[in-house]
Copies of this chain bind each other. A is one copy, B any other.
Amino acid sequence: MSDRITIDHGSGGRASLELLQTVFLAGFDNDILNATEDSALITINKERLAFTTDSYVVDPIFFPGGNIGDLAVNGTINDLAMRGATPLYLSVGMILEEGLAIDDLKTIVATMRKAADNAGVKIVAGDTKVVPVGKADKIFINTTGIGVVAKGVEIGGSMGQPGDKIIISGTMADHGITILCQREGLAISGEFTSDSAPLNKMVEALLAKHPDKIHVLRDPTRGGVATTLKELAISSAVGINIKETDLPIRADVQGACDLLGVDPLYLANEGKLLAFVAPEIAEQTLALLRQQPHGENAAIIGEVVADHPGEVVLETVIGSRRRIDMLHGQPLPRIC
């Protein structure tokens, strides 16, 4: 490992995992953190709570489909929902660069409020720091969330079982391609929109129907679907097979990815979930998802197998099979 922090350490791929393991898990080392779920599961006087934090440094701070503010609210709500929790309260910590236009800040705050209202959560705690010009980039936002986990709900990255069907709740790579195109100043950039959205109501609908047959939920943000599936194959000690022809990708997104030389499997999503569900409820779950807001393009993309534990195998369009690894050697800075 390098002796300095590199952009790669923040991309959500293999270098991020290495940093997590060698520095953070090694240093903080406790069972709750070591579970490395989207949310920590904590128990206070018998109440099971989910607790999660994320900092947002996206560049640009305004983009089609949202801004850093609703991205930060939705992202933390989703991390709570991926544990099967009902999100309740958020804190907001802002680091502002001297010179930021207060009107921009007001716009961001208004968007955060709207996103919170939309998801039924309250922003109850906050903090603001200011640093001199050139010591930050406009605005960084940390959101930390608390949710409550209902009795009987046991969803986690280690719960995947051979036979499970793998569902994605909609098209892939929309957030990642939107940010990349904006940043590259591409003429096509106007065509794309971030998928930033809260998924808690979608998860509620799933759990209301099949509380015990939804095994894994995870939102494929930094590192994309590929990295998330690889992590889940490892944490559940199972194999994963996906089919390229089943992956829902908008044709124009695929075209832009080809142009930029990036693989949509590795691009961030900010309003999509992956679900591993018992095979007998797969079709029903798919139908249910397609009725939900943000779920109309849901698709079954693969299955969990007992073979090749820890590995993700993609069956390509031409029928060949290749192993999918975590994001590696293609750093995508400040995507969220």
Binding site for B on A (CB under 8 A): 1-11, 16, 19-20, 23-24, 27-30, 32-33, 39-40, 42, 44-45, 47, 49, 51-57, 59, 88-89, 91-103, 105-106, 109-110, 112-113, 116, 122-132, 134-137, 140, 142, 144, 146, 148, 333-334
B57, B99, B100, B126: which contacts A24 (Cβ < 8 A)? Answer: B126
Residues of B within 8 A of A52 (CB): 91, 125
When all copies of this chain in the complex are counted, the total is 2
B6, B103, B112, B134: which contacts A98 (Cβ < 8 A)? Answer: B6
Q: How far is the CA of A297 from the CA of B99 in the complex (A)?
A: 41
Nearest CB on B from A164, distance (A): 26
- Cβ of B55 and Cβ of A10 under 8 Å apart? no
Interface of A is mostly: mixed
Residues of B within 8 A of A140 (CB): 95, 129, 136, 140
Q: How far is the CA of A101 from the CA of B1 in the complex (A)?
A: 12
- Cβ of B124 and Cβ of A54 under 8 Å apart? no
Residues of B within 8 A of A93 (CB): 53-55, 93, 142, 144
Residues of B within 8 A of A112 (CB): 27-28
- Cβ of A130 and Cβ of B6 under 8 Å apart? yes
Nearest CB on B from A95, distance (A): 5
Nearest CB on B from A241, distance (A): 30
Q: How far is the CA of A229 from the CA of B243 in the complex (A)?
A: 64
Q: How far is the CA of A131 from the CA of B10 in the complex (A)?
A: 8
Q: How far is the CA of A10 from the CA of B136 in the complex (A)?
A: 14
- Cβ of A91 and Cβ of B53 under 8 Å apart? yes
- Residue contacts A-B, CB under 8 angstroms, 12 given: A5-B97, A10-B96, A10-B129, A27-B113, A32-B124, A33-B123, A33-B126, A44-B148, A45-B148, A53-B125, A142-B142, A146-B146
Q: How far is the CA of A28 from the CA of B125 in the complex (A)?
A: 10
Nearest CB on B from A78, distance (A): 13
